Amino acid sequence: MSGLHDLAALAMRALDPEDAHGLTIKALTSGLGPRAPRSDDAVLATSVGGLVLPSAVGLAAGFDKNAEVPDAMLRAGFGFVECGTVTPLEQAGNPKPRLFRLTPDRAVINRLGFNNEGLDAFARRLSSRGRRGVVGANIGANKDSTDRAGDYVTGLQRLWGHCDYFTLNISSPNTPGLRALQAKEALDELLGRIAEAREVLKGEADYPLFLKVAPDVADVEIEPIIASVVEHGINALIVGNTTVSRPSDLRSPWKEEAGGLSGRPLMSLSTQVLSRFYQAAAGRVPLIGVGGIASGADAFAKVRAGAEAVQLYSALVFEGAGLIPRLKADLAARLKAEGFKSISDAVGTAHR
């Protein structure tokens, strides 16, 4: 079946990128998605910040912005699925065109701008799905918000009890000023308010909270981010998001478009930044690696650089859903070939 879905992905590339994505979501809501084997190789199981995962290979935020198809993507083989980014109020995002395939580079540039249907629609879908598999909510702030930290608190409050973990997305380059929340003073204010809200909410149940940072952070910013995360009880860091940088060897005619670059060209940069976070964290906070993953070798490199789990999205545009079982099988084989009995055994081994 995965071969058929790979052919469908190939056909979709003849369409406008955003139209193709919309049709993909509609197909998945109609039950046309792939179905992977129910069980994963035990070597891929892991735990990150209190989140127990059957497989360390997850779907990154951005694919399912409105929580329409989390179960379809779990059935496709992902060990966990992150929906969003969702903002308190519905917003249209930036003007079109705003999504570009860089096919020769196996990359994507987007400047979508948190286009989504808002928290109410998101919460309604999550509450009606039952609780099968691990599904997270990636929350953000509205573009015109006068209290961005308050938007994150609102997202946490509205979705509490409807998902398995939360990711605070402060690293999208497509909402002006959002990345300023990564600065120490602003980050402490945000995480302090989140911690206060969490303390009230966790009377009945608690959920892991993750922070998603950009791959463009300077080295001097890494330790302050880690210190804030540890101080305020954030359970893990996701490193990272799309990049505003542009490698000199990009070939696509779309390479100069504004927005965040993802896909293959991001692999090296994001892995280097992941390594620096791992070394600076020194075991104080676990990491999830994102950016440029398109194979088992890529996923293994992230794990060896310090990731307890990984997420991908852009590679599906070029490889189709058949990539998921292939990548997991390859990653499992690489772990076993190196003598590792689990993902956790391999984490950070590139630094030893």
Which positions are catalytic? 172
Which residues contact residue 26 at a Cβ distance below 8 angstroms, ignoring those fewer than 6 apart?
Answer: none
Bridge partners, residue 183, by sequence = none
Nearest CA to 43 among 351, 250, 340? Answer: 340
Phi, psi of 208 (to 5 degrees): -60, 140
Nearest CA to 280 among 217, 187, 343? Answer: 217
Contact 77, 325 (CB under 8 A): yes
CA distance 27 to 215: 32
- The DSSP annotation for 190-245 comes to HHHHHHHHHHHHTTT----EEEEE-TT--HHHHHHHHHHHHHTT--EEEE---BS-
CA distance 30 to 193: 40
Contact 91, 168 (CB under 8 A): no
What Cα–Cα distance (Å) separates residue 247 from each residue in 108, 114, 273, 331?
13, 25, 15, 27
165-179 burial, b if ≥16 CB within 10 A, otherwise e?
A: bbbbbbbbbbbeebb
Tokens of 105: 């580079």
